[in-house]
Amino acid sequence: MSLKPRLIDSFGRVHNNLRVSVTDRCNLRCVYCMPEQVEFMPRERLLSFEEIARFVAVVAPLGVDKIRLTGGEPLLRKDLDVLVRMLVAIEGVSDVGMTTNGMLLAPIAGRLREAGLERLNISLDTLDSVRFERLARRRGLDDAIAGVHAAKREGFDPIKLNAVVIRGFNEDDVAPLARFARELGVEMRFIEYMPLDAGHLWEREKVFYAQEILDVIAREVAPLAPAADQDPRAPALAYDYLDGGGRVGLISSVSRPFCGSCNRLRLTSDGKLRNCLFALEETDVREMLRSEAPEEAVAQAVAASVAAKWEGHEINTARFIQPDRPMYSIGG
């Protein structure tokens, strides 16, 4: 391959992290992500496992070594452990993880672990069953918590619990969630509410900011301090409990955007490459894969997408434009 084996944009950011959505389908309808009624993509538009693996095999020599499977809800994709085995076998891939709501995890956790899946992020926005149903528009809290415990039993490491905090809705869950994760020995990550909902109903007044979350935890759980081993390219700022009782992560996309160190690309379930979560343009790699385009042509398309990446999403400016695709269609 004639390309230099690194994906670097015009701002010097090196991209090694690929998020792969395997489906847009989900068994929840979370208000910050999906509408109540939704028409999912026809299955024939979704990339096959073989197409996903071929794409990863093209970008791995370019420096992409971390893969995260997302959705929708990825565990709605049958035999996902088969895809995991395919990905971990690709030379250069060192890390395969998954983001899930956990509801379907308990029965398949062992198979996924055996297949080579190591990291798990499990969405858990509340420990209150009434709030869970209001937020997700579905029942399922007990199944989600069962998934968390199954992941712990199977030895996934790390396990991170993700909670989107919305002012006036679930900010009272910050302390209980922090205690739950602390007692279980997993990392709790809180995410500022972002404008990626399907109904375009996001309001800045509903953002419960990272500093407010830190204040709640320090007041009601235990004091925190910035972690000494911060990963400068990670989306979350890490904080450790001063008493050694674990770690909390804060993804503050609104109050403290991390665009300047972003190392991520996204492949949607229908085969569109996005160089930013908030991107307004996409590169169609599905047709390239299905027409059996040469690997070098696919690699050049990826490099061009990275080269065209903007400086940042501009949420905090009048220039911000919310993408047409909501979160479930992009991939978390």
Residues 6+ apart with CB under 8 A from 132: 125, 126, 139, 140, 141, 144
CA distance 44 to 290: 12
Calculate the average pLDDT of the chain.
93
Three-state secondary structure of 248-317: EEEECCCCCCCHHHCCEEEECCCCEEECCCCCCCCEECHHHHHCCCCHHHHHHHHHHHHHCCCCCCCCCC
302 domain-assigned: yes
Q: Are 163 and 222 in contact (CB under 8 A)?
A: no
Scan for tokens 């790699």, then name that residue: 285
For residue 12, tell me if it sits in a domain: no
- Which structural domain range is residue 273 located in? 17-330
Residue at token pair 């909501």: 326
Confidence of residue 4 (pLDDT cuts 50, 70, 90): low
Q: Does residue 6 form part of some domain?
A: no
Q: Give the CATH number of the domain where residue 220 resides.
A: 3.20.20.70
**Nearest C-alpha neighbor of 306 from the set 250, 265, 272, 261:** 265
Q: Is the pLDDT of residue 318 over 80?
A: no
- How far apart CA 221 and CA 248 sit, in angstroms, is 11
* CA 7 to mean position of chain CA atoms: 20
313 part of a folded domain: yes
Q: Is residue 284 part of a domain?
A: yes
The answer to whether position 293 is within a domain reads yes
Pairing of strands 264-267, 272-274: antiparallel
**pLDDT tens-digit readout, 153-212:** 999 999 999 999 999 999 999 999 999 999 999 999 999 998 766 566 778 899 999 999
Q: Around Cβ 65, how many Cβ atoms within 10 Å?
A: 16
**pLDDT over 70 percentage in the chain:** 95
Number of domains in the chain: 1
Hey, what are 283's tokens?
Answer: 């590169």
In a domain, residue 2? The reply is no
Residue 82 — pLDDT band, cuts 50, 70, 90? very high
Whether 95 maps to a domain, the answer reads yes
Higher pLDDT, 200 or 262: 262
Q: Which of 98, 101, 72 shows the shortest CA–CA distance to 87?
A: 98
Q: Helices 141-154 and 174-184: crossing angle, nearest 10°?
A: 30
Closest by Cα among 236, 256, 232 to 312: 256
